[in-house]
Structure 1
């Protein structure tokens, strides 16, 4: 077990723009409240004021309230006591410093609580004292999901609180905001039409108008598939084109809608779309949509959109005012009338620029030679180019106009080639060598080709199909202007991505509505061919070239060749890791991704039903169960990676804490307290002691012990914590002194009798609850009394009614295994050769009988004074003062111990010598 962590009060949720957030807090945990506290301390230093929430809401199993006392944390001593509605103290802390000026208190049950603050300043113990009531109530049942799918261009319905399980829902204020904190709606339910993050605030209004039970959260609304639409520009001018493509090679359908319309118009399928301004309705805002289907969510089409604006092109009207009299005359003129405001107007042939021309204004130009004049008008970044053909009169009015060579113009249309379309040709043939210049002009473009003719009779130029105007100037004469048309050829239509990010392999299927055969040239130069609905398997990076040819020979469509580039995605690997947990069961997971930056990855956290519940690297599950994680690189084809599954298991919030304690006993002066709890769930144990005066002592030296000694009378409290430092339970027990102080009554030594049926009494140590008798460390009896049966050292262990244990030691000797020494002969009249008996310990009475051969008793003696190792029953061999005759006599010795209840008879012979 390790020391309890100081776990921060983070809340469940998603970080805006990256992760979903769902928090439960008191007002003092909000930014504004913290600022208010800091401002109060700064402006009114030393002013004491108990501040904290009036209401707290339990949403996830508990709630933490933050309370502040103000004052001077450097010198003030704060005592916080919180009692529940039953008067039980649930929080009691005292100390100085910032950590006691502001405290965080955990409430796990609903009800009314009293928060009392006492402040000692210097020697004034009750310098400040105040109590406030805090109501802890059941919070609303939240209904907001962490993720909503936006399907088919519709909307997602977001609901903050479950109205069916929140009776007081009308007491809450609910405000919705966008990611920039702009308020967008109020009320419990809103409709979200646009992709992005939505934030919600739920709170009760307290008596001072502040926010209590504040819950802030957010959710993400978006389609199932991650892709981006790439547009060539955000605005175009009338007459221009705009291209839309994808960062991801997806197959789907394109749509367009003008902002003034309600219906989308299909543009067909393809990897990209080129939209010509002349094909759409006028100027203004347009929305382009791309819609695709993911096989995991077949009923939810992923749709994204982009806006673009079509700017009005400048409008001008050209008219000839004077026609030159011949091909070299400078009497011509024209005018330009503006039909819209013009920022500038440029005529390159005149080297002339006009600025700031208002609508309806007419600009006139005179004394001009016959020529094609280019008029470029600009407005708001848009350009329009028109041609003014200032031709000479035919016939000329002058008397001697310049002569002109005959010109024959030959037009050749575009033609199909094996790989596409070959340009058309335009050939000029003259009936004589000519020197001069020519220009090929085109409406909306101006000059296309300029060329010199030096003594030439013909000239050929290549042109794309289209309509052109020809200008010839030779010998200072401008020839009649000719309009020519180069015929065009149509090509097959198909699309492929311009760039592909390959993840191991990518199956390329060109998009088309025609019957085509495709030939793909790989970066190494080898070719592969497929028919309609076939696929190319791409595995190598590099430049590719694809050629499509129509299978319908009668279509007249030319082949089309396209180029694209492929790159390889870095090899990616991913896993999940639990990075944070709190005491209410909330967990924070993070996707650990290698080989790619998280911002370049498509991240999907899904629940057991396959629903998306998170899209960012950080994931906060809102329910227990099975989840999965899959990561794909953005802008690439599907990577063959497997989902990683994991379980979010409900943690243990509370455990039983059963305490048992013995009494404080005299030997030694100590009690034992034993804790029984769930040892697998408990990581850390703290013990606290309160003496009879209520003084508290943290018994840190006893941390993490399941059994502790108690050497003082008082209350002992245990608090158990999880590995996260979360309190799992606490309990208290009273420890008292034992009233049973009588020691076992045992002598140092006891006799036992090896003779059966003796009357030696059993040892009685006194009245106790339990008894244990040990002989040489072996338990021999648990009876209240004990009669030893062997010689040796004994130990008795007794336990009193209140659990105190006493011990005593003693030893034993065999009182019935005595020794007797006496002579078998004696010499009369010699004091040191008389008859005498030596008896060992254990005999309390001895009786001597001496009989002659006839059986007559001649001597008798009885004694109860038997000293150890001193002679008794001494006899000098006389009877009535006279020596007995020499000879052999019978000696009978009776040995008794009335206490032990035994008698022993010894018979032997005695030789008497004179």
Structure 2
């Protein structure tokens, strides 16, 4: 089940009766909860703000009486602008501080008398000018829908008093991004505002969050790959949505389909430069407002390597070949896997040599600035060969291919059959692929035929009989099409999770659970996941004549830790003001979002 991040909002502290995203004062930027001052013994006096601004219904002023709190007794009185007595409190140490909520504008009087032992040693008063501050309409958070800008305003744009204030917006990096009441936002993040009156004296600060309703990030299997490499795009949260690719030097948006993740194969990444992937998902809580994020990755040139056959081997078994390798770009390392040879830190134009080489395929692996490049080189013998009495005779085999077939759970691989025309032979074989290297290898032991299961693709077959390398045979096996669907590689379950495999085809799914039970549903229906462990999902076409083979995907699920929370009263003074904080059980504060709401749900 999708959970909107906008159901909750992180506010660390709430003062009852006051909205927690704003602070306001005349010189003190955070009067919602002023820092506690260590009160040292001093002569009594009234300290505190002489001017306050009401922004959201009320404003709290904090005043101190000084003196010797351990022994002095404080008598506080607060009078309204009309002279009416609003508050009268007295007491010892805990009354050294007065916090009073001013409910309306005007000039108030704070009066204090201090008694030490039997004598009153201080009597004084302080005038506090409470003014009406700007009327705010800003919300704790705003939706960012797709890639459309979101307008956020501190005050009503039609408010006739706008010209009386100065505005400043900053982003989370502290950069100034706006100097007017309304800010057009296209980037997700926290935004901080500051309002000051043109006449000065009233400062209002606060912040808001702008972002998509669904909380997720995009992941890429590697931020930089070489041309000729594959790449996987996914989300860190199991979401299915639309993927779009923008290629280097282009603004065209290329749809990649709807899926939990997308595999871009080497054939898809032939252009060098910066690619941009865009993912958009729908939140059912906010119809019509897509949650969209972008990620970029680089496709770099593969290490360029020239191979020069200085000397070909005399025949199919004589190891006297010589190869020179010249790198045209800087290489961190160059490896010939079959020879266990390695050269490091090669500057452009460096030539290295390998000698005493038998005819065969060599796998060249080059690394450059994080790129890995694999190339196959077929070192052939001289033609015509220089034969020796010990040189084996070559009898060309017969080759045949059986195509891939559909199986009950996926594709059965094709089969490459090799018939040796001279009868039973002994030796070895290898199947290699360009850009990958060796895929399969095996022994031939007194056989006149071998059958090699091979999935669809293009390969090179290398056969050695009695130490003689036969001519390399290219092999191509057509790939059978499979059904198309995707599921997340890993799912975090909080009590339960509804998994709907992403597909645009008419399929039937069978899910095998970690306890080996299974359930079958049609495409579009949800599997209820409650168990931790490994799952297997089989998709088959409803129409047996579709020509599509079944496909099986494996994924895992883990149970997220359960947690609890409660509101804890952390501070209450003698004047009725209360401060609450959230106490979390079983989870770190940085892993949750919190929103405080009143009894009306706002």
| TM-score bin, normalised by smaller chain | 0.7 to 0.9
Residue pair 1:376, 1:385 contacting (<8 A) in 2 also: yes
Confirm whether residue 548 of structure 1 aligns to residue 554 of structure 2.
no
Taking the aligned partners of 1:370 and 1:454, their CA distance within structure 2 comes to: 21
Question: Among 18, 21, 26, which residue is 1:12 paired with?
Answer: 18
Partner Cα distance (2:298, 2:237) in 1 = 24
Larger Rg: 1
Q: Deviations over 1:740-763 (max 9, x none)?
A: xxxxxxxxxxxxxxxxxxxxxxxx
Name the SS for the 1:374 alignment partner.
strand
* Residue in 1 that maps onto 2:596: 619
What is the rounded CA distance, in whole Å, between the counterparts of 1:26 and 1:146 in structure 2? 23
CA contact (8 A) 2:49 2:61 kept: yes
Asked if 2 retains the 8 angstrom alpha-carbon contact of 1:314 and 1:384, the reply is yes
Classify 1:535/1:357 alpha carbon distance in 2 versus 1 (closer, same or farther; 3 Å).
same
For the Cα contact (< 8 Å) 1:324–1:393, is it kept in 2?
A: yes
Question: Post-superposition shift, 1:122?
Answer: 10
**Per-residue Cα deviation, 1:476-506 (whole angstroms, up to 9, x for no partner):** 4333322222333222323345566789998
Give the corresponding residue for 1:488.
479
TM-score w.r.t. length of structure 1: 0.54
> 1:356-378 CA deviation, whole Å, 9 max, x = no partner?
11233332333433232211111
Deviation at 1:235, TM superposition (A): 5.0
Q: What is the aligned partner in structure 2 of residue 612 from structure 1? A: none
Show the counterpart of 1:58. 54
Corresponding position of 1:535: 525
Among residues 324, 338, 341, which one is paired with 1:349 in the alignment?
338
1:789-804 matched pairs, under 5 angstroms: none
DSSP 3-state at the match of 1:619 = coil
Contact 1:110 1:136 in 2 (8 A): yes
CA distance in 2 between partners of 1:114 and 1:525 (Å): 76
1:590-609 CA distance string (max 9 Å, x none): 99999x9798999xxxxxxx
Partner of 1:23: 23
Q: Choose from 384, 405, 408 the match for 2:373.
A: 384
Equivalent residue number for residue 279 of structure 1:
268
Hey, what does 2:186 align to over in structure 1?
A: 193
After superposition, residues 704-783 of structure 1 pair within 5 angstroms as none
Length, aligned pairs only? 583
Q: Does 1:416 align with 2:406?
A: yes
TM-aligned CA distance change 1:152 to 1:175, over 3 Å: closer
Determine if contact 1:588/1:620 at 8 Å carries over to the other structure.
no
Matched, 1:111 2:95: no
**Residue pairs, 1:145-184, within 5 angstroms:** 145-165=139-159, 167=161, 169-178=163-172, 184=177
Q: Distance in 2 between matches of 1:33 and 1:504?
A: 38
Partner Cα separation in structure 2 for residue 383 and residue 450 of structure 1: 23
Task: Write the distance in 1 (CA, Å) between the matches of 2:509 and 2:530.
Answer: 19
Q: Deviations over 1:532-560 (max 9, x none)?
A: x663665775845423136273x543332
Higher RCO (CA < 8 A, seq sep 6+)? 2
Q: What do you get for the CA RMSD once the two structures are aligned?
A: 4.9
Distance in 1 (alpha carbons) for counterparts of 2:197 and 2:336: 71
Alignment of 1:240-255 (within 5 A): 240-245=229-234, 251-255=240-244
Alignment of structure 1 residues 9-408 onto 2, 5 Å: 12-13=18-19, 21-25=21-25, 27-28=27-28, 30=30, 46=42, 51-68=47-64, 99-100=95-96, 102-113=97-108, 133-165=127-159, 167=161, 169-178=163-172, 184-203=177-196, 213-225=202-214, 229=218, 232=221, 236-245=225-234, 251-257=240-246, 262-280=251-269, 282-310=271-299, 312-397=301-386, 402-408=391-397
Deviation at 1:138, TM superposition (A): 0.7
Which residue matches 1:715? none
CA 337–37 in structure 1, closer or farther in 2 if over 3 Å, else same? same
Unaligned runs of 5+ in 2: 1-13
- SS in structure 2 at match of 1:165: coil
**Mapped contact 2:511–2:536 kept (Cα < 8 A):** yes
User: Deviations 1:254-311 (Å, cap 9, x if unpaired)?
Assistant: 2233586545432112333222354146455544333233445332223344454545
Question: 2:571–2:580: 8 Å Cα contact kept in structure 1?
Answer: no
Q: Secondary structure at the match of 2:397?
A: strand
Distance 1:79 1:138 in 2: 29
C-alpha distance in structure 2 between counterparts of 1:28 and 1:418, whole Å:
73
Go from structure 1 to structure 2 and tell me whether the alpha carbon gap of 1:518 and 1:350 turns closer, same or farther (over 3 Å shift). Answer: closer
CA contact (8 A) 2:247 2:275 kept: yes
Is the alpha carbon distance of 1:441 and 1:537 closer, same or farther for their aligned partners in structure 2, counting shifts above 3 Å? Answer: closer
Which residue does the alignment assign to 2:3?
A: none
Is the 8 Å Cα contact of residues 26 and 64 (structure 1) preserved in structure 2?
no
Going from structure 1 to structure 2, the CA distance change for 1:124 and 1:571 (only over 3 Å counts) comes to: closer
Partner of 2:49, secondary structure, is: coil
Per-residue deviation, 1:344:
1.0
CA distance in 2, matches of 1:508, 1:517: 14
- For structure 1, the 5+ residue unaligned runs are 1-7, 15-20, 603-615, 628-647, 649-914
Secondary structure at 1:349's aligned position in 2? helix
